[in-house]
Amino acid sequence: MAAKAEEAAGRGGGSPSSARRRLRIISGHLRGSPRAPEREALSPSPCKAQGGSAGPASGSIPKKRQELLKWNGWGYNDSKFIFNKKGQAEFTGKRYRLGGMVLPTFKEWIEKTFGASLEHKTTSRASLNVNDVPPSIVNEEFLQDLRATKISYSQDAEDRVFRAHGHCLHEIFVLREGMFKRIPDIVVWPVCHEDVVKIVELACKHNICIIPFGGGTSVSSALECPEEEKRTIVSLDTSQMNRILWIDEKNLTACVEAGIVGQDLEKQLAESGFCTGHEPDSMEFSSLGGWVATRASGMKKNIYGNIEDLVIHIKMVTPRGIVEKNCQVPRMSTGPDIHHFIMGSEGTLGVVTEVTIKIRPVPEYQKYGSVVFPNFERGVACLREVAKQRCAPASIRLVDNAQFQFGHALKPQVASIFTSFLDGLKKFYITKFKGFDPNILCVATLLFEGDREKVLQHEKQVYDIATKFGGLAAGEDNGQRGYMLTFVIAYIRDLGLDYYVIGESFETSVPWDRVLDLCRNVKERIVRECKERGVQFAPLSTCRVTQTYDAGACVYFYFAFNYRGISDPIHVYEQIERAAREEILANGGSLSHHHGVGKLRKHWMKESISDVGLGMLRSVKEYVDPNNIFGNKNLL
């Protein structure tokens, strides 16, 4: 492994000799130019493990995740939806704008929508029982060699369970009701690229299975351990690799360690006046390496792009050695782009350790907005026209009526009679004066960013288009609230599980001419499948258009149902989700737009990319990782 790694590094331009040669050439150019400013010596950042006082950057998520995060649900321990003693819904904690606020209509909505009742409450385990955790299967020779590297590791039951899952419905249900049959045996915390090289070398030497772990937000079963895996499973947690190594203000790029989570990346860049603009719904907890591994997309991709548009350079450690390009340039014509073997590889080929990404100055001005349309068809037509004219704001998202009603139920109690009066006036204007049916209308939320003057011009252009499709401006507050709700919606599932309601989200991308048919057919299929499989109460089946492109859009579905009276609700749910995915594919949609494949959706990979395409991916896997060291069994 070591020899292969050195050889690969030489080919990739990463060897010490080639680096020194390039430095001599660069310094010669600098000395030869009297106009060149004096610069600091070019040198790589030292490994934190060898730096004495140098340590991981202070991140928002601690090394011991259980100190801050729920062990069997989404997000922070102190943040959750509850019903208080008065029976009113409220959101706890102070981390979000919704924190501490009462939601006066949410109880009524959940009772009406699902037939749920506060009198019917489930019971789940209050804490993790370490006696239920499968014992650690350890290769002692590997463990001895690992200790010699001084790399931090743990065999603690809580540490292992926290890295045994993502956030699929069935994973959270297992945690509430039982335990996984197979979990990682050891958790390791490398603090730099060199540490990862050592870990992979040892894994190859002792035939150990590695499952990379970033932010733990997977919704594709990607982090679940294969039950049949007999080797020692190591969860390689990248969270301590969380530094920005350098910022290049001239080329507007930054080299960042892959374990950094989205909120910390933006905070650290903002200190220097920059941002990436990449904001997936999970950005508080998901990592840069995870974004690369799943081909992630963000809410503001219209300005900043998806992850494949942001990446300039990737460094990845594989069992064959280190994969990276020899230079950091905006584009290369050197055969198929190796970055596209890495992006979307979902931990099957190696560990992404460092990523160079594009950055932008923090926008001068930000403005939210919203538009009400008489129906979903008009809203989709408006988004199509906005995309056609290539004038989409940073974010433009259209929710159907069911999701509008859902969002309205999450509206906090108003602080004053005057505010309540204004809300009533707006509702009267839209429904009575303009004739919009409150059971059919839909809403688009908008976010504009950039120079103030350009934002205002851009805003006028978008609203003018909306007017042509019957849209009415609905105010900044609704737009901002809709955007911010994105970060708290994931917490609702935990509340639902307390009252026999299970729910999940899934997504797809689809050509514009198929958007309406796909949305209608998938929602109808969900309702039909629920009825056929014995679900006693009508389900929530809803969608929103979240990202737009020249040739199509991303559509995001939510569905949930009351499972009282069903003996195996997860099995029923999985059958319904499978049917919904079949409907998506039959209507011309993709297998996934940004969630990835994992183990949950790999059944459809052959259909999605062809038999030959799947064979190409297998060939890459067999060459890069012939002994299946990265054995999470995703994708293939």
Distances from the Cα of 541 to the Cαs of 115, 504, 508, 573, 586, in angstroms?
A: 15, 10, 15, 13, 18
Q: CA-to-CA distance for 320 and 331, rounded, in angstroms?
A: 25
The single residue listed with the structure tokens 């601690």 is: 62
Over its C-alpha atoms, the chain yields an Rg (Å, rounded) of 25
Alpha-carbon distance 348 to 351, whole Å?
Answer: 9
> For 24-143, where are the E strands, in sequence order?
81-83, 89-91, 102-103
* CA distance linking residue 544 with residue 444, whole number of Å: 9
The closest alpha carbon to 302, from 564, 553, 26, 576, belongs to: 553
What does the alpha-carbon distance between residue 318 and residue 296 come to, in Å, rounded to a whole number? 21
Two tokens, residue 54: 């140098």
Which alpha helices (DSSP H) does 370-443 contain, by range? 376-388, 401-409, 417-428
Would you say how long the chain is, in residues? 636
Q: Between the CA of residue 290 and those of 238, 259, 262, 383, 633, what are the distances in Å?
A: 10, 8, 10, 29, 16
- Is residue 556 part of the annotated active site? The answer reads yes
Instruction: Give residue 467's identity as a one-letter amino acid code.
Output: T
User: In this structure, are residues 460 and 422 in contact, taking their beta carbons and an 8 Å threshold?
Assistant: no
Q: Is the separation of the CB atoms in 506 and 577 below 8 Å?
A: yes
Tell me which residue of 513, 535, 517, 515 sits closest to 526, measured CA to CA: 535
Instruction: Return the structure tokens found at 73.
Output: 């649900």
Rounded Cα distance between 288 and 239, Å, is: 10
Cα 217 → chain centroid: 6
Q: Which of 499, 556, 558, 573 is catalytic?
A: 556
- 184 Cβ contact partners less than 8 Å away, ≥ 6 residues apart: 160, 163, 164, 211, 225, 233, 234, 235
Contacts with 477 (C-beta within 8 Å, 6 or more apart), sequence order: 368
504 and 494 Cβ atoms separated by less than 8 Å: no
Task: Give the catalytic positions in this structure.
Answer: 556
